[in-house]
Structure 1
Amino acid sequence: MHDELWAKRGSDGKWHSLVGHSADVSAALEALIKIPLIGERLRCLGSIKTTENDAFSSKLSALAFLHDIGKANRGFQARSDVGAPPVGHIDELAWVFSGGRGAEAVCDRMSETLGLDRVEAWLTDGSRLFDAVFAHHGRPWALGDEGRHADIKDASAHWRAGSGDPVAKLAPMRAAFDTWFGEALADAEPLPDLAGFEHAFAGLLMLADWLGSNPAPGFFPFDNGRHADRMAFARERLALVLPATGLDARPARAAEHQIGASFAGAFAQQGREPFVAKPIQAETARHPARLLVLEAETGSGKTEAALWRYAELFRAGAVDGLYFALPTRVAATQIFERVKRFRDNVFPPQERPAVVLAVPGQMHVDEAEGTRLPDFDVQWSDDGDRAARWAAEHPKRFLAAPIAVGTIDQVLLGSVRVKHAHLRAASLLNKLLVIDEVHASDTYMEHLLTNLLRFHVGAGGHALLLSATLGAGARARLLGSGEVPGRVEADTVPYPALSWYEDGIERRQQLGLAGQPKPVRMEARPILTDPDAVAETALSAALDGAKVLIIRNTVGQALRTQEALEARVGISDGALLYQAPHADGRRVATLHHSRFAEPDRRVLDAAVESTIGRERATGGCIVVGTQTLEQSLDLDADLLLTDLCPVDVLLQRIGRLHRHAGRTRPHGYEEPRALVLVPEARELIRTSLRAYGLGSGEKGGVYEDLRILELTRRLVDAKSVWTIPDMNRQLVEAATHPDALCAIEAELMATDPDWRPHFDKRTGKYFADLSAAQGALLRFDQRFSTFRIEPDEVIATRLGGADRHVDFMSGERPLPIGPFGRLVPALKLPHHMAGDVPVEAQPQDVEPLDEAGGFTFRLGSIAFTYDRLGLRRME
């Protein structure tokens, strides 16, 4: 194709020189470091006290310039012929530096050609920044601490001298290096050799490589070998690209200052009374701690507190962006709309940072929706600015968005040994990280989160953890205080409260009154396994005019309850059963759970809030669902029927009961009542209860720790009235504090030996999860060279089986139509439903159902139905 080294090529015959591409990435890294907060975080990790000498960013930019020198090898360059074998450039370069047979001579020639001795002068004996340079594709090269690794393969054929000598062809790189990095070469001060600095540099270089490798309009077009002034061009282009993508927040900050929205203005909604900041919102926003835990009751305004803290930190220049992490995809989708509304109130239209829904499989930025096309391109539903949507077009870039709402999994992927983990962790450094419902994390997830928090906050970043009530043990671990307060002290911790760690002590600040006391009458009903009795109880209340919310622990039991209700009232009685609108205008009886397609979930969410939310109509109605009803949705039930669950989850569900004060309630339901569905037998050790989400089997369970469930049941029996939120702290500690768990375990084993296998299993699982977390962690406190990704190792952010993605867009058939008249591009198949479905299976025999709506399909030999009751496997 040409004699000069190339780095990128297009299907249209255009190409990009190695010098030109290297300049683009080098300039991108330099520009990122010159963003004040990113540079500040990097210097913090490197313990650099001054910013006077700009040689710091110039040296790192020079290292970035070398990131693709491995592309000089013969095998890679031969790929200008589309039929050539797919030879890479990372491990091929690792061979050069391995010291293996024949490699040393190539290494010496390469060092001389490029003048690498001058770069080595910046690196101390312990520094592994060079390793980080060649991890820009998201994984480390094969070299380890000893300078060689068994995975390194002989690449001598790719670097042989003679005609077309690949090392000699690197001479233009040397010439460009000398021209563009004179300032760096004139400064012999070594770069930091601290582990956290190396990891952060690796992540920022990955981000720079994503930016500099984008040939789209407005980014970095191919130079076709004309690279003499490429560095100047790249720097000029980045001055436009970084603000356009939202990575440089300075223009948005200047515009936000012009508006200076008040709290009331930030949360203004048409038709609503202006908001006045509550103590939890005002105090959370101005607190100086970098890592805060906010505990307050459901419905008290924790989401607004988090957003207002972001606004205040953003104004002060302490953060450049926001990542709002939720425990589930469903909760993320629900919060997404609230965050967009807040953004619209705080920023002027011409400088509004994009709000990205960071959920893989969905592509949403503001009001626009994207569709994946061949060749990794994206088609958007409007003609908005593509640069502003850059971060949304690939999940690895989600955390680089100026404002993103997504699952906690995207955060935790920056804490484990997976490809591009450093990119995610580094993209968060200048953002406020908000973790909602942090109590929902298990042992494994909590350990991963703690690891990331230490890195993030250690670099000077900000994080806010939200919970209705967090147990003392979890709070101490997440804050890093290490010491769990005793039970008596834990019970007296103020509520609602902010907690933080300072001078070796966990400190706390009470946030005014806990809110208007809400006495909730609690009653245990031994009808957990009787859906007919559940249906009769709910129907009686609905006929009295009550809005009834039924939350079951599993989809299976929710379906059984719905079927029992429909057997009594029929599916056409819109006065009593929850219904969602069909695209043709009719109403469809349904229920609310996680096994619906994303377009249908949006319909269901809006319908359930209109049915039983703030603006609900009068008259009785019953809504059946699962845990999807306990988070993020603004629901206001007159009566709650809920399966037994851990006390912190139960409090979350109770938060959907009598949520809005001052409403006229039907006679007999003026006071909030919660009926807790429990098994008839007193003991919880029966294996049959796994179907109801209590306990675990070989494939795990929903709520596996029977100690917490037993203590929660006893709380319901012992206290007929729970005053919320005054009792929240004592209730949670009574069922989750380590002292309480040890006591109930000793008591139960002393009275019934059948409990011992459960406790032994729980102990084993705890240590297994802890061990799995330790093995999965990306150790930011260890040198970069210790970072490894084993070829066959799969590391997840949650333990257990992985859900499957069923894509209906890959075939030539039109997309199927769901039960509410919307097209269904994809479905999520839960892991327990996909156990014997071949991994490679694609949907076949997609057939519409009758006029009821929905469709059937087959994966391998397994048939599925998707209709108004959700996705079900047909046995």
Structure 2
Amino acid sequence: KRYTIRHDSLGYFCWNKHVRKKFVARFSVEMIAKEERQLEFWLSMWAKWSTGHHGMPPEEECLELFNYFRQEDLDTVDEFISQLISLFKLETSCGAFDELPNKVHLRQLSWFMAGLITLCDWIGSSADFFPLNSSEIPLDEYWKLTCKQADVAVNTVGIIPANVATSNSLLTLFPQYVSTATPLQSYCDRIEIPDAPQLWILEDVTGAGKTEAALTLAGRMMSKCLGQGCFIALPSMATSNAMYDRMGKVYSKLFKPGEKPSLLLAHGSRHLSEKFQKSFLDLDTEKLTDNGEKKLSSAVQCSRWLADSSKKALLADVGVGTVDQVLLGILPARHQSLRLLGLKNKILIVDEVHSYDPYMNRLLENCLEFHAAAGGSAILLSATLSQEMRERLCNAYRNGLGCNSLEPLCSNQYPLVTMIPAEMRAIEDEVETRSSVKRSVAVEVIDQIGDVYTLIREETAKGRCICWIRNTVHDVRNGYSDLLAEGICKTDGLMMFHSRFALQDRLLIEEQVVQRFGSSSTVKERNGQVLIASQVVEQSLDLDFDIMISDLAPIDLLIQRAGRLQRHERKESRDAPTLYLYGPTPNQEPKKDWYESVFPKACYVYPDISNLWRTQQLLLQKGCISMPEDARCLIEGVYGEEAIEVPEALRFSEEDYWGKEMSDRSMASFNGLILEKGFVRESSTHWDEETRIPTRLGDVQINFYLARIVNGKLEPFYKGGKFAWDQSKLKIREGLLKTLDLTQNAKKILENFRNETTFFHKSDLIVPVNKVADKWVARGYDKHGNEMVVEYDCRQGLTVERYQQDEE
């Protein structure tokens, strides 16, 4: 019969209404009632994960059987079941169902089994391995044939883990660092590692070699059979790309000589990474013969098959990607069970833990709890982690281990290594830091914008290179325009860098920024150069400025920004490093609009004004940032229990932000799966094909594609190359531009184009622009119906602003 519900849910419906009772009755003749109920529960879970092979648990609707199945269909099902029982000799297998896992273990196991079934379904659907065969064949012969084909398929796609090296260490992984190892690296190389699941938190300053320390630790854990691989989760695509490049030089050393482990990059724009593309596209491929007996090169197919979907990324021996790839495993997203299966038996390494918001942190806690319950180990890295966050992450992992008592952590030292073992007390060890990264940066507060301009004028005249980090794109543009208008900088001595550039321009600007301000930049390239930028320069780029100016921002971000100030030793002499902090006038009794009056846009980016006030007060008191000595007191002085008391006028901000933080954490709990329920529909109210549960909160961003109409055809703004549309893309806030004001001809061209291609999501904006003077322009309307003007140029990026009619 024709059916209106998906065949996976229909399969479970057939099992539940027609097969289940017959099957249970057949195998429970000698069972007592309790054993029979246990068997029925086990089979019910088995049926759900088996019929959830399309990425979601089956629906459990109450339907009329004969509305979907004819009697002859049901007879065929019965015959097939009988043949399966005979094929696998279930009735003669002694105690086939005697030792079933308990319900708690079975529910946990169901997530991995659902992932395994999905994996088998994907491999089994490949015509390369299992060619279509329309001829009738007995089931036992078919089983023997497909077992041979399956053996070829499994070994070809690369899901069999590579053999781990018997002894990993700093010497085997990073021999070039052995003689100059940092204290943290030496600690991770020698500390005794228990034989049970464990969580490590490594806290040290930027430049202390945390990545190498974590990989050394992970390699040693893998050699003790605590993991078959690892996945490194990072906060952004840029940091993921940088880590992927670094891992390419070392990951194979984690495994035995002669092994061919896989390394995958996982994020939404990984196809734009040339190195990732070359990892599998440059290799030769072969096709299987019709009977599936001819093997492909495993290295080639491993990369190709695993690389064709980010959902498979965690199945690779070593993966690098955004933390979102891990968090999707504990959200009701399609095929999330495949991600959990990939994470099982892997060391999870999460970098920059301090950079995640309350919503993401709650999701990460859920992930750590489930990973611990599944016997997994994890390593977390941070330069500026608060004590409260450290405690929460440790407690989440301890909950997963089933610890009855959660003893509080007690050390407030820094740098610090924290270890949560399975059956012992927490270990908190203070470590030294590398002497070369110990330093003190003076802090000078500036409360007048004119003084900032004077500073830039004076320092550029001395040949210094300067970076001014602003908190919004709007402020970046204003600063850029003012510096040009006041004659402080010339066009060839001033650069602007923020997130509102098309990818091609952003990559070009990033390359120019690194050339002018990177570790290899020359005195001539740096002379009198000024970069005004948003937060895009805080992470992943190795930049070194003579002078650093920053708008007032949270303390952890200021510590990050100060790390870009005189980062490397240079031959030319430089004054002692000073961080110039621009913001509102320091005031012990500020007004409610203390911050907003100076930064009317940035107050929405950093809404907790109380913490900004604390940050300024702490830095005024200390007069400098000395690392590592000040790290703990600065972070706890703003975020900890002993934080400075804020004035009455700013308490509203503290209370509002606390309420939002609790709301965001509650939203994460609401959105996340109830993992203890197992792979069933009741594990979430959000199992829906159309529902997209976010891994991050905040304004929804949509893709914005710049386009041109040339000779009656729609083309990407930047032509040429395989990824021209990607190169013409950027992100904007959803609703900022809802509809376009186009001519009838342009509307028809755009409509025809969208009907002819499946590349774009329905929410994507494709915006044809026209050249007007020195800018590219379009018009449209926002979600409120306000007329908007779109302007783009390669030096200043994209603006989308309300149309202002000229006054006569």
TM over 0.5: yes
Q: 2:55 aligns with which of 129, 138, 143?
A: 138
Q: Deviations over 1:56-110 (max 9, x none)?
A: xxxxxxxxxxxxxxxxxx336xxxxxxxxx6422333444466xxxx4xx34687
- With over 3 angstroms needed to count, the CA separation of the structure-2 counterparts of 1:236 and 1:509, relative to structure 1, is farther
Note if 1:870 corresponds to 2:797. Answer: yes
The 2-side partners of 1:414 and 1:426 are apart by 9
- Partner residue of 2:615 out of 704, 712, 716: 712
3-state DSSP class of the match of 2:435? coil
Question: Contact 2:497–2:509 at 8 Å: present in 1 too?
Answer: yes
**Following the alignment from structure 1 to structure 2, what is the Cα–Cα distance between the partners of residues 281 and 856?**
54
Equivalent residue in structure 2 for 1:205, among 89, 106, 114: 114
Quote the Cα distance in structure 2 between the aligned partners of 1:496 and 1:237. Answer: 52
Q: Partner letter of residue 509 of structure 1?
A: D
- Compute the displacement of 1:397 (Å): 2.1
Give the Cα–Cα distance (whole angstroms) in 1 for the partners of residues 224 and 153 of structure 2. 24
Counterparts of 1:350 and 1:569, CA distance in 2: 62
Cα RMSD (Å): 4.1
User: 685-694 or 538-547, which moves further after superposition?
Assistant: 685-694
**Counterpart in the other structure of 1:53:** none
Identity %: 23
The residue correspondences of 1:708-857 to structure 2 (distance < 5 A) are: 708-740=611-643, 744-745=645-646, 748-749=647-648, 752=649, 755-785=650-680, 786-790=682-686, 791=688, 794-806=692-704, 813-817=714-718, 823-825=724-726, 827-831=729-733, 834=736, 836=738, 840=762, 843-844=765-766, 846-847=768-769, 849=771
Structure 2: how far apart are the matches of 1:346 and 1:278? 21
Q: Which region of structure 1 is more displaced relative to structure 2, 715-724 or 493-502?
A: 493-502
**Aligned residues of 1:844 and 1:859 also touching (Cα < 8 A):** no
Conservation of the 8 A alpha-carbon contact between 1:514 and 1:725: no
Give the C-alpha shift of residue 626 in structure 1: 1.9
2:2 counterpart residue number: 75
Distance 2:718 2:460 in 1: 32
Q: 1:200, 1:604 → 2: CA distance? A: 49
> 2:15, 2:145 → 1: CA distance?
32
2-side partners of 1:809 and 1:112: how far apart?
Answer: 62
Mean Cα deviation higher: 424-433 or 605-614: 605-614
Is 1:675 aligned with 2:583? no
Are the equivalent residues in 2 in contact too, given 1:264–1:276 (CA < 8 A)?
A: no
The 1:345/1:194 distance shift into structure 2, 3 A limit, reads same
Indicate the larger mover: 834-843 or 467-476.
834-843
Structure 2 match to 1:452: 367
How far apart, in 1, do the equivalents of 2:205 and 2:781 lie?
A: 44
Letter of the structure 1 residue corresponding to residue 637 of structure 2? A
Q: Kindly report which structure 2 residues correspond to 1:536-575, keeping only aligned pairs within 5 A, or say none.
A: 536-567=454-485, 574=492
Which residue in 1 is equivalent to 2:304? 389
Answer whether contact 1:114 1:173 (CA < 8 A) is retained: no
Measure, in 2, the Cα distance between the counterparts of 1:692 and 1:250.
Answer: 53
Residue 689, structure 1, aligned to residue 596, structure 2 = yes
**From 205, 212, 226, the counterpart of 1:304:** 212
Cα pair distance change 1:502/1:386, threshold 3 Å: closer
Deviation for aligned residue 1:471: 0.8
Partners of 2:154 and 2:160 within 8 A in 1: yes
1:340 to 227, 243, 248: 248
Please report how far the alpha carbon of residue 319 of structure 1 lies from its aligned counterpart in structure 2 after TM superposition: 2.0
SS of residue in 2 equivalent to 1:335? helix
Mapped partners of 2:491, 2:15: distance in 1: 74
Distance 1:310 1:483, change over 3 A: closer
Q: Shift of the alpha carbon at 1:499?
A: 4.3
Partner of 2:755: none
How far apart are residue 405 of structure 1 and its match? 1.8
Shift of 1:569: 6.0
Q: How far apart in 2 are the matches of 1:560 and 1:409? A: 33
Spell out the pairing of 1:122-521 with structure 2 (5 A cutoff).
123-124=38-39, 127=42, 129-130=45-46, 131-143=48-60, 151-161=61-71, 164-180=72-88, 182=90, 185-186=93-94, 187-195=96-104, 197-214=106-123, 215-216=125-126, 219-224=129-134, 226=137, 228-251=140-163, 253=164, 263=170, 266=173, 276-285=180-189, 287=191, 288=193, 290-343=198-251, 351-363=259-271, 367-369=275-277, 385-480=300-395, 492-500=412-420, 505-513=425-433, 515-516=435-436, 517-521=438-442
Instruction: Work out the CA distance in 1 between the residues paired with 2:231 and 2:562.
Output: 28
Distance 2:601 2:779 in 1: 32
Task: Work out the CA distance in 2 between the residues paired with 1:459 and 1:730.
Answer: 36
* 2:131 partner letter: P
| 8 A Cα contact 1:354 1:366, kept in partner | no
**Quick one: structure 1 residues 263 and 200, their matched pair in 2 at CA, closer, same or farther if it must change by over 3 Å?**
same
Secondary structure of 2:320's aligned partner: strand
Q: 1:614 to 1:718 in 2, by over 3 A?
A: same
TM-score normalised by the chain length of structure 1: 0.73
Deviations, residues 178-223 of structure 1 (Å, cap 9, x unaligned): 3146599432323213435434433343344234334446544334
State the distance in 2 between where 1:340 and 1:684 align: 53
Partner of 1:82: none
Contact 1:296/1:302 (CA < 8 Å) preserved in 2? yes
CA distance in 2, matches of 1:599, 1:306: 34
Q: Is the 8 A contact 2:387 2:636 kept in 1?
A: yes
**Deviation of the 1:468 alpha carbon:** 0.2
User: By how many angstroms is 1:804 displaced?
Assistant: 1.0
Q: Is the 8 A contact 1:614 1:635 kept in 2?
A: yes
SS at match of 2:695: coil
Q: In 1, Cα distance between the equivalents of 2:77 and 2:684?
A: 31
Gaps of at least 5 residues in structure 1 are 1-73, 77-85, 144-150, 372-378, 578-589
SS in 1 for 2:248: helix
The change in CA–CA distance for 1:692 and 1:188 in structure 2 (over 3 A counts) is same
Q: Which runs of 5+ in 2 are unaligned?
A: 286-299, 399-404, 741-760, 803-808
| Matched-pair contact (CA < 8 Å) for 1:399–1:427 | yes
In 1, the alpha carbon distance for the partners of 2:179 and 2:656 equals 49
| Change in CA separation of 1:153 and 1:330 when aligned onto 2, cut-off 3 Å | farther
- Alignment match, 2:549: 641
Residues 158, 857 of structure 1: alpha-carbon distance in 2 compared, 3 angstrom cutoff:
same
Offset from partner CA, 1:626-677 (integer Å, 9 cap, x none): 22211122222222111212212211111222222x423444x2x2111112
Distance 1:90 1:636 in 2: 56
Q: Number of residues paired by the alignment?
A: 729
Aligned partner of 2:444 in structure 1 is 523
Q: What residue number does 1:34 align with?
A: none
Whether the 8 Å CA contact 1:431–1:461 is kept in 2: the answer is yes
TM-score by length of 2: 0.79
1:846·1:858 contact (CA, 8 Å) conserved in 2?
A: no
Give a deviation string over 1:264-303, Cα, whole Å, max 9, x none.
674589xxx9873322123235652621111010121112
Q: What is the CA deviation profile of residues 455-498 of structure 1, one whole-angstrom value per residue up to 9, with x for unaligned ones?
A: 11222212111110211100000011797969xx66x4242434
Q: Which moved more, 1:319-328 or 1:818-827?
A: 818-827
Q: What is the CA distance between 1:817 and its match in structure 2?
A: 1.1
State the distance in 1 between where 2:29 and 2:505 align.
60
Partner of 1:616: 521
| CA distance 1:366–1:156, shift in 2 (3 Å) | farther
